[in-house]
Amino acid sequence: MKSSPDAIERLVTLLSKLPGIGKKSATRMAYHFLDADPSYARLLAEQLLSLHQAIRRCSRCGSFTETDPCPICTDPGRDPSIICVIERPQDIRVIEESREFRGHFHVLGGLIAPLDGVSPDDLTIGKLLSRVRGSGRIKELILALNPTVEGDTTALYLQKQLKELDVEVTRLASGLPVGGDLEYADRLTLSRSFRGRTKMG
């Protein structure tokens, strides 16, 4: 049943393809574009049109960047001897916001997931190995991969591949979230937080 003009329907269809956006939210958005000043839709359209031209992948770490190598890879204030290995370029943002890490990054481009047809060859693991071998001054690789089955599989695989190289491999601690409640922790999280318990004082 058609209850909106075609131009609105087409816009709603495209907007519903965004992550987390259903038909209802997409409809609200579409009408928002109509209610708002036309310059808003135009600005967004221009930004979308220039996006893929402005953004490329950093040839060193694989993150999204406007300049190659990216600002993080060329920042003299950062420590190139520690590399944080992440799944996707967007993981950089949240790690940068934590202000905990001042080394370099390496984007894997996914996690090993045999059921989804993602094998180690689909990721930038080979590139990571030659990066470690080629540099000679990389001391630590921090695996910042999700604590999921795929993250665990990928972490184990990387650990094996890196065994012969003279580099320490660590992984982000997994456990109770800060501000969380023991009562609501799931069994696996609780079990991990027991195994990873730290000495006080």
Q: Which residues would be at the binding site for a second copy (CB under 8 A)?
A: 1, 3-8, 10-11, 14-15, 17-21, 25, 27-29, 31-34, 36, 38, 40-52, 54-55, 64-66, 70, 88-90, 92-93, 96-97, 99
CA atoms within 13 A on the CB side of 153: 12
In whole angstroms, how close is the CB of 92 to a second copy at the nearest point?
A: 7
| Bridge partners, residue 179, by sequence | none
- Rounded to 5 degrees, φ, ψ at 3 are -130, 10
Contact between 72 and 104 (Cβ < 8 Å) = yes
Give the tokens for residue 148. Answer: 């999921």
Contact between 123 and 107 (Cβ < 8 Å) = no
In terms of CB distance, is 38 or 134 closer to a second copy? 38
* Rg of the chain, C-alpha, whole Å: 22
In terms of CB distance, is 89 or 175 closer to a second copy? 89
Helix (H, G, I), strand (E, B) or coil at 107: strand
In whole angstroms, how close is the CB of 154 to a second copy at the nearest point?
A: 18
In terms of CB distance, is 122 or 152 closer to a second copy? 122
DSSP for residue 150: H
In whole angstroms, how close is the CB of 186 to a second copy at the nearest point?
A: 23
In terms of CB distance, is 39 or 198 closer to a second copy? 39
In whole angstroms, how close is the CB of 58 to a second copy at the nearest point?
A: 10
